[in-house]
Amino acid sequence: MLRATRANEEEPDLAAQEAAALLVAATTALPTPELIAVDPMGDDVGVPALLMTLLPGQVVWDPKGPMRWLSRLAAVLPDIHDTTVTEPGVGEYFNYEQISYAPPKWAAEPNVWERAVDIFNGPILEDCRCFIHRDFHPGNVLWRRGRVSGVADWQSACVGPPSIDIAHCRANLLRYAPDLADIYTRLAEESTERSFHPWADIACLIGILDGLRSSPPSPSGRRGVDTAIARALAACE
């Protein structure tokens, strides 16, 4: 599988970062893509790119057994977080800047979002920093016969607070199945033997604020996201 990446101001060396992350991911017990080659500056193929192996399996968003599905998603996290990072190219976590920090028009209490932005722009959580996927959610997990067959898309992997991986999964669940988000959080806490820090909800949801405005969730998703932001703010202030 060839992935071409477009460098940006926040991550100008994205191909090299993903190559380093794949080398670290390969040391976990998880099935992950194997790095074959990398062209970090695009000298050979015209754009920064890397070549990796293809993982078997398919993405599952609407499982027949949601509790088992959530439990197995949560069980993936310890293999990621307990990995020793030896590659110097793996970066440190930072919050993704947004074009605008204006609350969504559908926000029930805009002032809550404005206060959450202040926390988002404040200090980064230093809690138990370790190797994290950074974009962990059902769309990046592959399944075969009801079991996880691989974890893909390691371009954002870095060293940071492990709660971020739970929060990214929560952010996706909140938008389409908000009732599953807290269940997943409990299962993830049990699996990782770490408490989820609500700061991570603010970091992830404000970190996709541009998308929440341009592609609003369903009405139930909006309520789920609104509630999560308010709860996280109350816990962090």
Could you tell me which of 147, 127, 135 has the C-alpha nearest to residue 96?
A: 135
Please report the pLDDT score of residue 32 as a whole number. 97
Q: What is the pLDDT of residues 5-62, one digit of tens each?
A: 444 455 668 899 999 999 999 999 999 999 999 998 888 888 888 999 999 999 999 8
CA angle centred on 235, ends 96 and 188, rounded to 5°: 70
| pTM attached to this predicted model | 0.93
Model confidence over 156-206: pLDDT tens digits?
A: 999 999 999 999 999 999 998 999 999 999 999 999 999 999 999 999 999
Q: What is the pLDDT of residues 142-165, one digit of tens each?
A: 999 999 999 999 999 999 999 999
CA neighbor of 109 nearest in space, from 221, 233, 204: 233
Where in the chain does DSSP place strands (E)?
2-4, 35-39, 49-52, 58-59, 130-132, 141-144, 147-151, 158-160
Which residues make Cβ contacts (< 8 Å) with residue 230, sequence separation at least 6? 109, 112
Quick: pLDDT tens for 84-121. Answer: 999 999 999 999 999 999 999 999 999 999 999 999 99
Q: Of 118, 85, 80, nearest to 101 (Cα)?
A: 118
Mean pLDDT of 132-143: 97
Cβ-defined contacts of 104-110 (< 8 Å, 24+): 104/209, 104/212, 104/213, 104/216, 104/222, 105/213, 106/216, 106/222, 106/226, 107/226, 108/223, 108/226, 109/226, 109/230
Of the candidates 34, 128, 132, the residue with the CA atom closest to the CA atom of residue 79: 132
Q: Where are the domains of the chain?
A: 56-236
The architecture that CATH gives domain 56-236 is Alpha-Beta Complex (3.90)
Q: In the prediction, which pLDDT does 6 show?
A: 47
Q: What pLDDT is stored for residue 11 in this prediction? A: 62
